[in-house]
Amino acid sequence: MVAAYIMVKANTGEADRLKNTILDIEGVQDAHIVAGDVDLIVKVQVENPAEVKTISADGIQGIQGVEDTQTYISMD
């Protein structure tokens, strides 16, 4: 299994809607609205790194209201 964390920067006022939409994506384990440089931290648990890319690039980045993402794959 591969765990990854995706930092999501949202357009103003979009964090709640984005969280609910992101939680519906297969492979997303959890999502939290946070304070700081990003608006959400999303935890992904999938079988391989290619699935992380699919969730981040095709799933989350394709949602209207997402400004930017940064993806971190867990090493342990």
pTM of the full structure: 0.95
- pLDDT reported for residue 53: 96
- pLDDT reported for residue 2: 97
pLDDT tens digit sequence for 13-67: 999 999 999 999 999 999 999 999 999 999 999 999 999 999 999 999 999 999 9
- pLDDT reported for residue 76: 87
Q: What is the DSSP string of the chain?
A: -EEEEEEEEE-TT-HHHHHHHHHTSTTEEEEEE-SSS-SEEEEEEESSHHHHHIIIIIIITTSTTEEEEEEEE---
Average pLDDT, stretch 8-14? 95
